[in-house]
Amino acid sequence: MFQIIDLKYKNILDIKELEIPGQRITCIVGQSGSGKTTLLRMLNKLISPDSGKILYNDENLKEIDSIGLRRKVVMLPQTPVIFNGTIRDNLQIGLKLAEKPEAADSELLEILEKVHLKKGLDENADKLSGGEKQRLALGRVMLLKPEVLLLDEPSSALDEETEQLIIESVVEFSKRNNRTLIMVTHSKKVADTFADNIIEIKEGKVVEA
Amino acid sequence: MDKVIDLQIWQMAAAYIFVLVLLVIVRAKGIKRESEIVLSSVRMTIQLIFTGYVLVYLFDNPNPIFSVLVYAAMETFAIFNIFKRMKQKLSAGLKRIIALSMFFGTTVSLLFFILVVVNVSPWYDPRYFIPIAGMLIGNSMTGISLGVSRLTDGMITNKSLVEGALMLGATPKLAAKQIVDNAFDSAILPTINSMLGMGIVFLPGMMTGQILSGTSPLTAINYQIAIMLGILGSVALTVITFVQLGYKTFFNKDSQLIIED
Ligand SMILES: Nc1ncnc2c1ncn2[C@@H]1O[C@H](COP(=O)(O)OP(=O)(O)OP(=O)(O)O)[C@@H](O)[C@H]1O
Ligand SMILES: [Mg+2]
C-alpha cells in the first residue's frame, strides 16, 4: 500500500526503506519526539519529504493530487479539532469539507455508538470533555470511510478501559470494510493486542518493521 | 452664505492653541507623547500647505498626465503605508496581492464614479479627479489594512483548524472559508457603520469643507451621498479582491499550509 524509499525530512526523519501493508492494522510506536506525527503527516501529504519518495499503490505521492489523496488517506490529528457548533455539525463537517453528501441522523447515531459517545446530536461540542472530543473527532473520520485511516494517538486522553473499547471498535470497523488502519500509539498493550504489524521509530529512523 | 471668511494667518495660528492644550495635558499626566504630537501637527501643516500649492497649480493647468501621476503617487503611497502599518510579517506574495487589489479596486471604482456617477468632463478634471481619488484610496487603504491583519491573524491562530480541514480532504478554499469571510466582514464593517452616524453624529470632512467654503449644504449633501456609496463600493471591491486572492498565498501548489514561524 505505502512504500517509503530513502526518505529524508529536515533532521527529523531518515527512513531507508519501509513498507506498510494494505488492509492491515499497523501500529507506529516510539518515544515522544521521535517523528511519528511527522511520518503520518507525510502519508497525508500535509508535508513533503526533502528527498526520497513515498509510493501509494505504486504511485509516487508527488504525482498524486493532494486533495484527492487526502480524501482516500484521511488523517486524525493528535489534538482533536473541534469546530463551533453541535455534535451533529462536527460530524457532518467532515463530509462537507470532503465534498461528500450529508449523512442521515441514523448514520450519525451509529457512529456515536461506535466511538462510545453517549451524547445527543444537538449537544454543544465545545462542552465535551477532552476524551469525548477525541472520540467525536474519531467518529468524524470514521464517517468518511476512507481507504486508509491515519490515527495519531486516537486514545491518548482515554482511560485504559475506554481505550480498549474504542480501538477494538475502530479495528473491527476497518477489518469489516477491508480498510487500512495506521495508528500511532503509546500503549504497548494496544499495539500487542491489535496490530498485524508494528513499526518502531527511534530518532527519526525505523528500528523494527 | 455667499461671504466666505478667509482665515488670516493669526487666526490660523490661534488654532494651534488646541495643540498647546494637549501638550500641557500629556505633560501633566506624564504620558510620553509630546514629540509625536508636535511632529504630527507640524507634518499635517506642512503637508497640507504643500498640497494646497500643488492643487492650485494643477487646477490652473488641467492635464491628463498630471492627474494620472498624482493618482499613481497616491496609490503608491497608500500601498507602502499598508505594508508599514502591519505588525505581522507579510510574504512577498501577499504584498503583491495587496498592491494588485488596491490598484484594481480603487481604479475600477474611480472610473465608474468619474465617468458614470458624476460624469466629469474632461475625465481628468483635477478639481474632481484628485479629491475623489484621494477619498476612495484613503478609505480603501483603511479597509484593506484591516482585511490583511484579520486574514493573517486568522490563518495563524486557526492554523490547526485549517490543517484539520485539509487532513480530511478539504480544498484550501473550503479550509480557509471561515477566516476569509471573517476578514472580509470586519474589513467592511467600519465603512458600513460610518454610514449609520452620517449627518447626525458627524458631518464628514469633505462636506464640512465644502460647506465652509461656501457651497450650498444641499449640493454638498448630494456629493456626500454619492461619495459615501462610492467609498463603500471601492472598499468592498478592494477587500473582496484581496481576500479572494490573498488566502491562496498561505498554501503551496500541493495544497499544503505554509506559515513561516
Ligand atoms: N515544522 C517543524 N519544524 C521543525 N521541527 C519540527 C517540526 N515539526 C516537528 N518538529 C520536530 O520534529 C520532531 C518529531 O516531531 P513529531 O511531532 O513527529 O514527534 P512524535 O513522535 O509525534 O512525538 P509525540 O509522541 O510527542 O507526539 C520533534 O523534535 C519536533 O520538535
Ligand atoms: Mg506526535
Higher pLDDT, B224 or A203: A203
Flag whether B261 is in a domain.
no
Residue B255: its chain A contacts at CB < 8 A? Answer: 66-67
10 Å CB burial of residue B126 (0-12, 13-18, 19+) is buried
User: What ipTM was reported for this prediction?
Assistant: 0.93
Distance CA A168, CA A162 (A): 10
Is the CA virtual torsion A66, A68, A69, A73 positive or negative? positive
CA distance A164 to chain B (A): 25
Task: Give the confidence band of B78 by pLDDT, cuts at 50, 70, 90.
Answer: very high
B73 and B181 part of one domain: yes
Flag whether B70 is in a domain.
yes
Residue A187 Cα to ligand 2 midpoint, Å, equals 13
Per-residue pLDDT tens digits for A131-181: 999 999 999 999 999 999 999 999 988 888 889 999 999 999 999 999 999
Flag whether B112 is in a domain.
yes
B32 and B113 part of one domain: no
Percent over 90 (pLDDT), chain A: 89
Q: Tell me if B169 and A81 make a contact (CB, 8 A cut-off).
A: no
B140 and B46 part of one domain: no
Distance CA A27, CA A197 (A): 6
Flag whether B150 is in a domain.
yes
Interstrand relation of A25-30 and A197-202 (parallel, antiparallel or unpaired)? parallel
B69 and B182 part of one domain: yes
pLDDT at B1: 42
Which of B43, B61, B79 corresponds to the end of one domain? Answer: B61
**Cα torsion for B40, B43, B44, B50, to the nearest 10°?**
180
Q: Tell me if B256 and A66 make a contact (CB, 8 A cut-off).
A: yes
Flag whether B260 is in a domain.
no
Distance CA A143, CA A139 (A): 6
Half-sphere exposure of A77 (CA within 13 A, CB side): 16
**Which domains, and CATH codes, for chain A?**
2-208 (3.40.50.300)
Q: Tell me if A79 and B257 make a contact (CB, 8 A cut-off).
A: no
Task: Give the confidence band of B144 by pLDDT, cuts at 50, 70, 90.
Answer: very high
pLDDT at B104: 97
Range of the domain at B5: 1-61
B175 and B106 part of one domain: yes
- Average pLDDT of the residues in B103-107: 96
| Domain count within chain B | 2
Size of interface A-B (CB pairs under 8 A): 59
B23 and B143 part of one domain: no
Residue B203, pLDDT above cutoff 70: no
- Pocket lined around ligand 1, Cβ cut-off 6 Å: A 12, 30, 32-38, 78
Per-residue pLDDT tens digits for A97-139: 999 999 999 999 999 999 999 899 999 999 999 999 999 999 9
Interface test with A, best of B158, B168, B253, B257 (most A CBs within 10 A): B168
